[in-house]
Amino acid sequence: MSHTPSEMMTIAAARLLGNDDVCFVGIGAPSAACNLARLTHAPGITLIYESGTLSTRPSVLPLSIGDGELCDTALTTVPVPEMFRYWLQGGRITIGFLGGAQIDRFANLNTTVVGDYAAPKVRLPGGGGAPEIASNCGQIFITMAMGSRAFVEKLPFITSFGHGTGKGDREKLGLRTMGPTRVITDLCVMAPDPESAELSVISLHPGVTREQVQAGCGWPLRFAADLTETPAPSDQELEVLRGLHARTRQAHGVAA
């Protein structure tokens, strides 16, 4: 079966998740990836949304963290302060999913402003819970579509801390978690270099070239010496993902 770049990104992200993971899920691509994993190879995965729903098992993708589908299918719902203090800051979440308007070579994220902070070209939604998620989850997976406006040489504002300016910066701030370990895009998968923490392309999606990836990035990219090709989506993965989107469209009357 043929697939779209967006489907490849979602499926590549879902494959990184395991049955024992406890995931702090975001709306959009992260939600699709986490629920795809739950419906395929990781039925025991625990999905937590920021509204306080624990071990939720939605049949359709939620429109927001306040979607009733999450509460209706959750094991339980706890207050947001408990979610952040006990679950997130308590170190009980293994994987946090994040995205952003912009990302730099060390996986720092900007969701605050484009341009000068005092007089921005664009004012973005802000951090919400993302800075705490970036600091307290065991690992962070970032899902973003490639593009030179999103993958930039220098961020005008760091909303969610990745690896700062290089290896060791998280430790200097007293952070004990791993931070971003994967950046999953519609063209490739990246990971921090073990020595420098700078993002390096470790896998190209089927049919994608190095030149295409570099064209979508605002800094000179590194490519791993053992660069591989991302396995193409299986028929089962595509059928389950498309079924999830189809149910969502039918339930909400919108594209998902």
Mark whether 50 is an active-site residue: yes
- What's the average model confidence in pLDDT over 235-246? 97
pLDDT per position as a tens digit, 145-162: 999 999 999 999 999 999
The pLDDT value given to residue 256: 54
Instruction: At 164, list the tokens.
Output: 């700062």
Degrees to nearest 5, angle at CA 166 with 211 and 200: 25
User: Nearest to residue 177, comparing CAs of 141, 136, 142?
Assistant: 136
Whether residue 136 contacts residue 174, with contact meaning beta carbons closer than 8 Å, is answered with no
pLDDT per position as a tens digit, 103-145: 999 999 999 999 999 999 999 988 888 999 999 999 999 999 9
The pLDDT confidence band at residue 255, using thresholds 50, 70 and 90, is low
The pLDDT value given to residue 254: 60
CA distance 252 to 185: 26
The pLDDT value given to residue 253: 76
The single residue of 50, 69, 198, 237 carrying the catalytic annotation is 50
CA distance 240 to 1: 13
Chain mean pLDDT for the chain: 94
Whether residue 14 contacts residue 36, with contact meaning beta carbons closer than 8 Å, is answered with yes
Percent of all residues in the chain with a pLDDT value above 70, rounded to a whole number: 99
Whether residue 177 contacts residue 95, with contact meaning beta carbons closer than 8 Å, is answered with no
Q: pTM of the predicted model, to two decimals?
A: 0.94
Domain parsing of the chain, residue ranges: 5-252
Instruction: Enter the CATH code of domain 5-252.
Output: 3.40.1080.10
